[in-house]
A and B are shown apart, each in its own frame.
Chain A
Amino acid sequence: MEKEVLITALKKIVKPYIQDEEAFENLSENTDFIKDLKINSANLVDVILDVEDEFDIIVDNESMEKMLTVKAALEIIETKLSEK
Chain B
Amino acid sequence: MKKRIVITGLGVVAPNGVGISDFTEAIKSGKSGIRFFQELQDLNFSCCIGGIPVISEELKSRYFTPLQLRNFNSSGILYGCIAGMDAWKDAGFAIDADSELDFDSGTIFGTGTSGVDKFREAIYQLDAKNVKRLGSTVVVQTMASGISAYLGGILGLGNQVTTNSSACTTGTEAILMGYDRIKAGNAKRMLVGSCSDGGPYIWGGFDAMRVMTYKHNDSPEKGSRPMSATASGFVPGSGSGALVLESLESAEERGATIYAEILGGAVNSGGQRNGGTLTAPNPVAVQHCITSAIKNAGIKAEDIDAINGHLTATSKDSLEIENWAAALGRKGKDFPYVNSLKSMVGHCLAAAGSIESVAAVLQLKEGFLFPNTNCEDVDPTILVIIDEEKIPNQLLNIELNIIAKASFGFGDVNGCVIFKKYNNN
Contacts and interface: CB of A to CB of B under 8 A. Distances in A.
Interface string B57-73: 00000000011001100
A49 B70 contact: no
Interface string A22-48: 000000000000000000001111100
A43 B67 CA distance: 10
Interface in B246-302: none
A42 B70 contact: no
B121 to A, nearest CB: 14
A49 B71 CA distance: 12
A27 B48 CA distance: 52
Nearest to A60: B132
A42 B67 contact: no
B129 interface: no
B66 A46 contact: no
A17 B136 CA distance: 12
B135 interface: yes
A16 B133 CA distance: 18
Contacts of A43: 67, 136
User: In the complex, which range does the number of interface residues on chain A fall in?
Assistant: under 10
B219 interface: no
B38 interface: no
Nearest to B66: A16
B275 to A, nearest CB: 48
A46 B136 CA distance: 6
Interface in A33-74: 42-46, 49
A9 to B, nearest CB: 18
B137 interface: yes
Contact of B71 (A42, A44, A46): A46
Contacts of A16: 66-67, 70
B268 to A, nearest CB: 40
A49 B137 contact: no
Nearest to A19: B67
Interface in B7-28: none
A45 B70 contact: no
B97 to A, nearest CB: 10
Contacts of A46: 70-71, 135-137
Contacts of A17: 67
A39 B137 CA distance: 14
Contacts of A49: 132-133, 135
Contacts of A45: 135-136
- From B71, B133, B135, residue with most partner A Cβ within 10 Å: B135
- From B66, B67, B71, B137, residue with most partner A Cβ within 10 Å: B67
Given A16-B67, A44-B136, A49-B132, 15 more contacts: A16-B66, A16-B70, A17-B67, A42-B136, A43-B67, A43-B136, A45-B135, A45-B136, A46-B70, A46-B71, A46-B135, A46-B136, A46-B137, A49-B133, A49-B135
18 contacts: A16-B66, A16-B67, A16-B70, A17-B67, A42-B136, A43-B67, A43-B136, A44-B136, A45-B135, A45-B136, A46-B70, A46-B71, A46-B135, A46-B136, A46-B137, A49-B132, A49-B133, A49-B135
